[in-house]
Structure 1
């Protein structure tokens, strides 16, 4: 019997999407404490644009070639020694940062979350980074309370949409900044939309917001900090405005450092930089608990993530271009089986 093919999306050099290539790689083998999965879905995130451009702090030590893929939902097809409580065919998920844009990959059995039967693998994949980030921002970092007033920047993005949906379930009052063409989407999800190009969010709520989640970082987060009420909390989760302006890494790091200095100013306002990976490193059980809770909400229909497109291996480079352009109202998800179907039709 022929060994299964293992296609992977590889970064040949840091830079443009053209540096991505689909190549055949050796089939991995599950070592002690590991599972091998056949990849069912791996979502594409804006974070991977940063990884490809060598701007993501956690992967600065990596050198090409390496395989892309921040998250994975897969079906177990091989179980390593010392692994119990799993069976061939069980579906599991993990946040891997790299290595999951592939047909097959190995995972540490202790790290994976279980995926309920019956949920769509692509929808499950969209929850791993964006929705877990949103859940932890609300319930682990900000510890929001029913009735609080929360502003979400980039509300039409993947994390932004998740924050609005989960925030509505938590009973908080929501505002969201977005492009003009996305106002209807933000309103549909349940927030008061703010057109960031034509409205000044700092004057929307005279008393100030209880919590602001800022993944844009425009003007070094200053305006977001100013829009907090006394005692309010700014959760910074990114700096896409600086990256789109092609700024270097040092000024971005200085902006993050300034967040912590602001806490020394009078007025009792707070600021912190949230990283899902740092949170997972400090509290590894939280990540699995929170992700499995989200899978439960997906299984019952309480949440329904938006998918912009399910793509094949051949479409990954174009998907990265779409991520850089922005404006997507849902996630792009690599589905290896979809690529096989495309090839079969071509044949």
Structure 2
């Protein structure tokens, strides 16, 4: 009898997209307190490219080979001993950081969020990291209030789009920074576009913004901090400018550390760095509550995430290249059941 196998996206060594390969691995078995899921969809994240390049602090101590994949929507196909509250065939969501770009994997039942029936798995997968980051930045970190004036950097990206949509629902007055080609998209999402190449965002709003969300880190967040009004708040959550500028991880960690020193400067402005993993560790129930809320919004039609393309396991390396090139107006989502592009004709 042939032993069932599991195809997984493995990182051979830290480096470029060519270090990713699809390999066969043993089919996992659910242990006590675990479930095994057949993966229906897994987001391909910009964060995955940082992990691949050894620029992500949470995985910096890990040594390849590693199985990639930050999040997933899966269908339970095996229940481990002692698991209650879940059933075979049920769809669930989880954030794993590693190990979700696979056909099958095991998960701790206590970490799972149940997914309402009938939801598109690829759309639901966009919520686990990108939309959750946006929701928690708005409502857990910044605790925004209606009518506040808010600037979103990288507004055309996955988290940026989610910030604009959820910020609009929260009644915020929004500005979105991006390249000029994305101006129509940003207007469609309810914000005033700011063209990075032609406009100085520090001068757009006399008096300054109540809140700035910055996942880019241009100039080590200095200009974002300068764009705040007295008493305003800078929520940093990424450093893509440092990555593109090939800065060392230590340099970017120093940028983050400096944020906390700025609160001692005159003007009462504050800054801090949001990490979805740190917040989940401190408040695990928040993660499930917030994801349930987002899934309910998706089910009701209140939000509709943009899925640019559904891709196969064999096309993950190309997806990483596209993420690093930029210019996408939605999410790339891995669907393991999908055949590779070369086998679709």
* Distance in 2 of aligned mates of 1:339 and 1:52: 24
Instruction: Give the unaligned 5+ runs of structure 2.
Output: none
Partner of residue 129, structure 1:
129
Deviation at 1:165, TM superposition (A): 0.2
- Aligned residue for 2:39, secondary structure, equals strand
Partner of residue 142, structure 1:
142
* Distance in 2 of aligned mates of 1:63 and 1:308: 32
Contact kept, 8 Å, 1:115 with 1:295, in 2: the verdict is yes
- Aligned residue for 1:77, secondary structure, equals strand
1:183 matched to 2:205? The reply is no
1:310 matched to 2:310? The reply is yes
Deviation at 1:61, TM superposition (A): 1.1
* Distance in 2 of aligned mates of 1:242 and 1:342: 35
Query: Could you say what the CA RMSD is over the residues aligned between the two structures, in angstroms?
Result: 1.2
Q: How does 1:240-255 map to 2 (within 5 A)?
A: 240-255=240-255
Deviation at 1:336, TM superposition (A): 0.8
* Distance in 1 of aligned mates of 2:40 and 2:342: 15
Contact kept, 8 Å, 2:147 with 2:171, in 1: the verdict is yes
* Distance in 2 of aligned mates of 1:264 and 1:273: 16
Contact kept, 8 Å, 2:311 with 2:340, in 1: the verdict is no
1:10 matched to 2:10? The reply is yes
Deviations 1:13-69 (A, max 9, x none): 110100000000000000000000000000100000000000100001111111000
Partner of residue 222, structure 1:
222
* Distance in 1 of aligned mates of 2:90 and 2:4: 19
Normalised TM-score (structure 2): 0.98
| Number of aligned positions between the proteins | 345
Contact kept, 8 Å, 1:202 with 1:226, in 2: the verdict is yes
Partner of residue 52, structure 2:
52
Deviation at 1:5, TM superposition (A): 3.3
Normalised TM-score (structure 1): 0.97
Contact kept, 8 Å, 2:31 with 2:80, in 1: the verdict is yes
- Aligned residue for 2:9, secondary structure, equals strand
- Aligned residue for 2:155, secondary structure, equals coil
* Distance in 1 of aligned mates of 2:246 and 2:223: 21
* Distance in 1 of aligned mates of 2:99 and 2:128: 15
- Aligned residue for 2:260, secondary structure, equals helix
Q: How does 1:5-84 map to 2 (within 5 A)?
A: 5-84=5-84
Deviation at 1:223, TM superposition (A): 0.7
Contact kept, 8 Å, 2:313 with 2:340, in 1: the verdict is no
Partner of residue 273, structure 2:
273
After TM superposition, which residue ranges in structure 1, 4 or more long, deviate above 3 angstroms?
1-5, 340-343
Instruction: Give the unaligned 5+ runs of structure 1.
Output: none
Closer/same/farther in 2, CA of residues 341 and 175 from structure 1, 3 Å limit: closer
Deviation at 1:266, TM superposition (A): 1.4
Partner of residue 337, structure 1:
337
Partner of residue 264, structure 2:
264
* Distance in 2 of aligned mates of 1:164 and 1:249: 29
